[in-house]
Copies of this chain bind each other. A is one copy, B any other.
């Protein structure tokens, strides 16, 4: 007996806008059967037919503290190119943990302040 993880769910102020941002981060897409809309309280994106996806739900309360849970991601390009790309689409810099030897990671936040980490790519990890 086990349970399957269907989605990572974000409480948010604007689930439609946040789903759009995370679509740009991950390349995930909406479910064509249930298209996303600013009129919906919930908006979903996922990796095609696979799981888990990301679900965004409008809630009344604001974010108040550093999130206890966060996503760690690695790019298909390089860590530094990806950080620049994400800063260009609305992410903000929280903490830069890049090291002189090329290792390390960067903490960014999405447009609602949810922290996430960009690690090195697989290729970069292999090189270091």
Contacts and interface: CB of A to CB of B under 8 A. Distances in A.
Interface of A: 1-12, 25-27, 52, 55, 61, 63-77, 81-82, 85-86, 114, 117-119
A8 B6 contact: no
Tally of this chain's copies:
2
B72 A6 contact: yes
A107 B117 CA distance: 27
Nearest to A51: B74
Contact of A118 (B3, B27, B69, B77): B3
Best-buried of A8, A55, A69 by chain B (most CB within 10 Å): A69
A92 B18 CA distance: 30
A2 B81 CA distance: 11
